[in-house]
């Protein structure tokens, strides 16, 4: 396994982060346990979850599954860099959403109980909360760090301006602030290259891409559909039809270099300087095994250039739109 420090922190994380959103709604508890054991055996030390994961009406179930896995012992908890998130509504009662000081306090205690641990390595805000001043957020996070309940703070789905706001206010308090930003980022969706990545690089915030295969779009979807291994319907079908020429060109290119499309998509993300680790969300053991192959792929400058021709990215703002 290859490791990298998460942003400017001293926290060492595996280049692949095990996303657990499917644990519970899509993957049984037994299979979830097996996938986590396998991830650990391959020295993946970075696991990501959220207090809302578990499926409609079952918020928190994923954290509970991870907690029961930790409870088996074998130094499972000690070997894992554990990340979870708060923001979304967990019930309809007031104050049980967002990142107010009250909800931060309640949410972290609930997550700790479900996860059967006494601390969280990386506590992430799942979305920007424009209704809460940063002074309130950082005061609440400082208390959690002082209590030993969390070690580091991260964000998810923030804009570049939000990262600048957060770090500016944290610096005033002599607080570390954010060390990571979790965002959608892949060959198809590259919007964060305009503002978020430049801000992250400036402040030493590690990027953690989610949806690296864009919901399967970059995983050989056309070939699988032709072979009858995947049926296109609904939004997936609409996305494929909209981008069919690009996706076909991509799959043809991957075939020409004899590398599966999904492996190339993951390897491309791992080659991006701002990316600390890429989040994978396997539903099955086979999907985990497939993701591990990307670690052995080194993309040269020609391949990176060819991929940029198929899926053009963005320049840093304002050059992207002004010059």
- Active centre residues (catalytic): 53
CA–CA–CA angle 114, 214, 235 (5° rounding): 100
> Helix, strand, coil shares of the chain as percentages rounded to 5?
45, 15, 40
CA nearest neighbour of 82 among 37, 49, 38: 49
The token pair at 187 is 């060959």
Report how far residue 316's alpha carbon sits from residue 194's, in angstroms, rounded to the nearest whole number. Answer: 4
Q: At what angle do helices 301-310 and 234-256 cross, to 10 degrees?
A: 150
Contact 278, 16 (CB under 8 A): yes
Please give the Cα distance from 6 to 208 (Å, whole number).
9
For tokens 């002074």, the residue is 135
Asked if the bond preceding 104 is cis, omega within 30° of 0, the reply is no
d(CA 64, CA 21): 12
């Amino acid at each position: 396994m290859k490791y990298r420090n998460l942003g400017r922190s001293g926290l060492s994380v595996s280049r692949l982060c095990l996303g657990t959103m499917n644990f519970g709604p899509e993957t049984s508890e037994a299979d979830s346990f097996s996938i986590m054991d396998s991830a650990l055996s391959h020295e993946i030390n970075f696991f990501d979850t959220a207090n809302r994961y578990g499926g409609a009406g079952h918020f928190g179930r994923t954290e509970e599954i991870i907690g029961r896995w930790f409870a088996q012992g074998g130094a499972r908890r000690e070997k894992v860099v554990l990340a979870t998130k708060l923001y979304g509504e967990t019930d309809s009662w007031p104050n049980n959403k967002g990142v107010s000081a009250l909800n931060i306090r309640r949410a972290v205690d609930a997550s700790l109980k479900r996860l059967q641990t006494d601390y969280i390595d990386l506590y992430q805000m799942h979305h920007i909360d424009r209704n809460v001043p940063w002074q309130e957020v950082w005061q609440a996070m400082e208390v959690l760090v002082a209590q030993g309940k969390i070690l580091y703070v991260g964000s998810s789905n923030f804009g570049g301006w939000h990262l600048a706001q957060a770090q500016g206010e944290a610096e005033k308090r002599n607080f570390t602030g954010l060390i990571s930003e979790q965002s959608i980022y892949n060959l198809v969706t590259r919007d964060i290259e305009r503002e978020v990545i430049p801000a992250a690089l400036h402040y030493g915030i590690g990027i953690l891409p989610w949806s690296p295969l864009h919901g399967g779009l970059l995983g050989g979807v056309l070939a699988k559909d032709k072979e009858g291994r995947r049926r296109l319907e609904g939004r997936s079908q609409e996305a494929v039809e909209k981008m069919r020429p690009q996706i076909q060109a991509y799959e043809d290119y991957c075939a020409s270099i004899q590398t599966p499309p999904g492996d190339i998509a993951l390897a491309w993300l791992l080659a991006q300087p701002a990316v600390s680790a890429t989040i994978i969300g396997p539903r099955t053991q086979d999907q985990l095994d497939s993701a591990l192959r990307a670690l052995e792929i080194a993309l040269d400058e020609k391949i990176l250039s060819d991929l940029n021709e198929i899926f053009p990215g963005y320049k840093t703002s304002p050059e992207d739109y002004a010059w």
